[in-house]
Structure 1
């Protein structure tokens, strides 16, 4: 292995690690605020990528009808628990009027002729609202349940989303066009323009999340909920609102990650689970609590995967997932067990 190969593997590792970092941050965020180990995070990545692929091919994205179905289900749940006309009106506007209006708009557009930026916005508009809807239907009714119960529900939601993905997208994989075709020469190393887009987008999104949590009222409310749920509730912060906002942010991160990774590798209906699992390994390195450690762990996972693919490509995933064993052993020896709040 010479220096040129090391540089190429390092570039691939850092690129993949940047995407794993985004997924790890989303997992840490969701767990800190809602205590949910969000297994379906990868499905938002896959659905965002495959929706973008459908838009590029000029096909009407079937995820629109899934959004309509999720909205109807959420509206029904809100209808059973609504306390006033105002809340029902908001639910009707967001969960039914919005999906139907979006479906009507897309039906009349020439999707194949849209610019890339418009397709990105449409993919976000279709898939991201499913995040808060998912929380409202699956997790909000049992928000105070133990972590184990929430984990079981998360696994069930993941299996349901994988099945729906197969039904909607089929078994064929898709790859989208890169955001940049440029090539930059750095010594003997060629750096693709899309690689720079991935790194820049990851940095911008991480900085935007930092500013959101540090400078905005909603961000501070989520931080308060993550630190002490009961204390935040006593200060007037709605746990339901915090949960929906957290799932909204997780869906945004998932869809953007899918749009960034789709030009790099072929995405199938079930690809999100494996990619999300690598983000979960990075989140475990951060203890499901530390954002900087999770981001650093993601870069480590990306580099380990890249170099493992060179030395033992058949075992690269095994090597990556084996990393979680010493991390868990180290954390079990250096941390104290804390009983879950009643």
Structure 2
């Protein structure tokens, strides 16, 4: 390996690490607010990328019928809860079940966006409501159960979403056109425009998320829920709405990841699973609690994957996932046992 190859591998590691950083942030956000290890996070990536590819080829993204179905079922469930005398936040419910599906349908059926940015906006409007809809239907009824039970439900939901992805998009892979079709040669190091787009978009999203959690009331409410759910509820924070919002942000981040990486690599219906798992490894490095450490862990995972693909390409996935073992061993030495109720 010479210096040029090392620089190329390092560049690939940084680009991959940027995607894994976004995935790790989404997983940490969902877990800290709801205690859910959200295994299907990668499916948002696959759904978004393949929906974007469908729009670019002039086809209707079939996943829109899944969103409509989830919205109708959610409306029925919320109406049933209202009849049982339970409190229902109809404003938030109508946002996720009516406003966003109508926005996505209007963009896709009405405007039929031909520009790449318009297609990306339509995909974001299509994928984002899937998060809170799935949360309300599958996880909210089990909000007070154990973390293990929530994990089992998450794994089952992943299997369902992968099967639906195969049904909606087929087994063939797709790739979209890059947002910036340019190439530069920096001292012998080839740099593509799409790689720059990925890094810039990731940096901007990280800044926006930092400002959201540090400066906005809603972001501070999410942080309060993550720190102490009972205390936040006693202070008037609607914790169920916090779950909706955390899943919406996770779906939005997953959709952005899918749109960003679709021009770089061919996406299949099950590609998101591996991407989500690598984001999970990065999140574990941050203890599923620290956002900065999750970002650092994602960059480490990206570099490890890139260089291991050069030295031992057949074992690169094994090396990446094995990396979680020493991390967990280190955490086990430094932390004390805490009861689940705490």
Scaled by the length of structure 2, the TM-score of the pair is: 0.95
Among 83, 107, 110, which residue is 2:109 paired with? 107
Offset of residue 301 of structure 1? 0.5
- Inter-CA distance 288–183: structure 2 relative to 1 (3 Å threshold): same
Determine the structure 1 residue equivalent to 2:194.
194
Determine if contact 2:23/2:280 at 8 Å carries over to the other structure.
Answer: yes
- Alpha-carbon displacement from aligned partner over 1:95-135 (angstroms, at most 9, x marks no partner): 14652564355234445xx1111011000011111111011
Offset of residue 341 of structure 1? 1.4
Determine if contact 1:32/1:226 at 8 Å carries over to the other structure.
Answer: yes
Structure 1 SS opposite 2:191: strand
Distance 1:104 1:282 in 2: 37
- Structure 2 unaligned runs (5+)? none
Query: RMSD of aligned C-alpha atoms?
Result: 1.7
Structure 2 SS opposite 1:36: coil
Extract structure 1 runs of 4+ deviating beyond 3 A: 83-94, 108-111
The answer as to 2:300 corresponding to 1:300 is yes
Distance 1:92 1:334 in 2: 45
Q: How many residues align?
A: 340
Distance 2:325 2:99 in 1: 48
Distance 1:101 1:13 in 2: 36
Distance 1:144 1:222 in 2: 18
Determine the structure 2 residue equivalent to 1:138.
138
Distance 2:156 2:115 in 1: 37
Determine if contact 2:45/2:254 at 8 Å carries over to the other structure.
Answer: yes
Determine the structure 1 residue equivalent to 2:209.
209
The answer as to 2:129 corresponding to 1:118 is no
Determine if contact 2:101/2:125 at 8 Å carries over to the other structure.
Answer: no
Distance 2:285 2:324 in 1: 8
Which residues of 2 match residues 261-272 of structure 1 at below 5 A?
A: 261-272=261-272
Determine if contact 1:32/1:289 at 8 Å carries over to the other structure.
Answer: yes
Determine the structure 1 residue equivalent to 2:218.
218
Structure 2 SS opposite 1:190: strand
The answer as to 2:116 corresponding to 1:91 is no
- Inter-CA distance 307–30: structure 2 relative to 1 (3 Å threshold): same
- Inter-CA distance 76–223: structure 2 relative to 1 (3 Å threshold): same
Determine if contact 1:68/1:100 at 8 Å carries over to the other structure.
Answer: no
Determine if contact 2:20/2:298 at 8 Å carries over to the other structure.
Answer: yes
- Structure 1 unaligned runs (5+)? none
- Inter-CA distance 4–218: structure 2 relative to 1 (3 Å threshold): same
Offset of residue 80 of structure 1? 1.1
Distance 1:295 1:104 in 2: 36
Determine the structure 2 residue equivalent to 1:278.
278
Determine if contact 1:278/1:321 at 8 Å carries over to the other structure.
Answer: yes
Offset of residue 85 of structure 1? 10
Distance 1:228 1:88 in 2: 25
Determine if contact 1:79/1:88 at 8 Å carries over to the other structure.
Answer: no
Scaled by the length of structure 1, the TM-score of the pair is: 0.95
Determine if contact 1:13/1:303 at 8 Å carries over to the other structure.
Answer: yes
Structure 2 SS opposite 1:260: helix
- Inter-CA distance 115–324: structure 2 relative to 1 (3 Å threshold): same
